[in-house]
Amino acid sequence: MKQTVRLAAVGDLHVKKTSQGLLQPLLAPVNEMADVLLLLGDLTDYGLPEEAQILAKELTTVVRIPIVGVLGNHDYESGQHTEVCRILTEAGIKLLDGEAVEIHGVGFAGAKGFAGGFGRGTLGAWGEPGMKRFVQEALDEALKLESALARLRTPRRIALLHYSPVRGTVEGEPLEIYPFLGTSRMEEPLNRYPVDAVFHGHAHHGSLEGRTSTGIPVYNVALPLLRSSFPERPPFRVVEIPLEGSSREELPRSGTELPPASRPPVPEQGVAAPRPS
């Protein structure tokens, strides 16, 4: 029986038609370093089936541990997310859209999440129908996550999102785009159940770690952020989850493979926010 389960997490791979062969050498160390690989959305760049095929081939060629993931906003761009999902699922990747799965005794619940801002700045469902639809999308995603969490009976629970549920992990991005990087509406179910850790992507130039209001660790594992923070390391973050003889409060604040969190430098082009993360 395992005493710990090691999670390797990365989001925002943004696989393109030209990405064939690029991921395999980067992901090869994951088999030795972790027990489960988590993919936190924006798996493809334009949400094209061709991109999904390339990603599926890259993953099945090199990764021998279970893979769990969620889709991101880029995976919806071409309106073919159902096909993208089918291709990746047939390749053995468990994609969560309001679902839950148990692996090695740890429960994983996932949803894409949505935008809408944080704290007192969270957008309210008020005024024009369009504004109400926007907020409803975030509420629907929060409900998906909550229903997934409610199905888990494991002592350890992990949440997967693409958008951030807290402000802390988007800090470092231009202030003007914070509301489009996530929303506090996803935070309530995380605190209520509660989970042991949350992983997300999307904020390419945000911060590595944050906390929910009840102290649950939140990890931003967007690939550009990991690359700029730890250029010498494999492009995923490893966090160890204790299974036996540990209380939820004893979960380490930082991933065991990494030093304490630090704010990464914000690249010049990050300030201009050229396109959605």
One residue of 5, 6, 10, 12 binding Fe ion per CB under 5 A: 12
Question: Is residue 177 a contact partner of residue 206, using CB atoms and an 8 Å limit?
Answer: no
- Residue 202 within binding range of Fe ion, rule CB under 5 A: yes
184 binds Fe ion (CB under 5 A): no
Task: Out of 35, 42, 58, 173, point to the residue binding Fe ion (CB under 5 A).
Answer: 42
Question: CA dist 164 to 31, 52, 159, 179, Å?
Answer: 27, 23, 11, 10
Shortest Cβ distance from residue 210 to Fe ion (Å)?
17
> Are 36 and 65 contacting, i.e. CB atoms less than 8 angstroms apart?
yes
Residue 35 lies near Fe ion (rule: CB under 5 A): no
Asked if 72 is part of the footprint of Fe ion (rule: CB under 5 A), the reply reads: yes
Q: Tell whether residue 164 is a contact of Fe ion (CB under 5 A).
A: no
- What ranges in the chain are assigned the alpha helix state H? 23-27, 30-33, 49-62, 81-90, 129-151, 187-192, 223-229, 268-272
d(CA 10, CA 219): 10
Q: Does 169 bind Fe ion (CB under 5 A)?
A: no
Q: CB of residue 162 vs Fe ion: minimum separation in angstroms?
A: 6
**Strand locations in the chain (E):** 4-10, 36-40, 67-70, 93-95, 99-103, 106-110, 156-160, 197-200, 209-211, 217-220, 237-242
Taking CB under 5 A as the binding criterion, the range among 5-13, 57-65, 148-156, 243-251 that sits at the site for Fe ion is: 5-13
**Of the ranges 35-43, 143-151, 165-173, 251-259, which one interacts with Fe ion (CB under 5 A)?**
35-43
Q: Is 277 in the site for Fe ion (CB under 5 A)?
A: yes
Question: If binding is defined by CB under 5 A, does position 73 make contact with Fe ion?
Answer: yes
Q: Least CB distance from residue 2 to Fe ion, whole Å? A: 32
Contacts of 272 (CB under 8 A, 6+ apart): none
Binding region for Fe ion (CB under 5 A) = 12, 42, 72-73, 202, 277
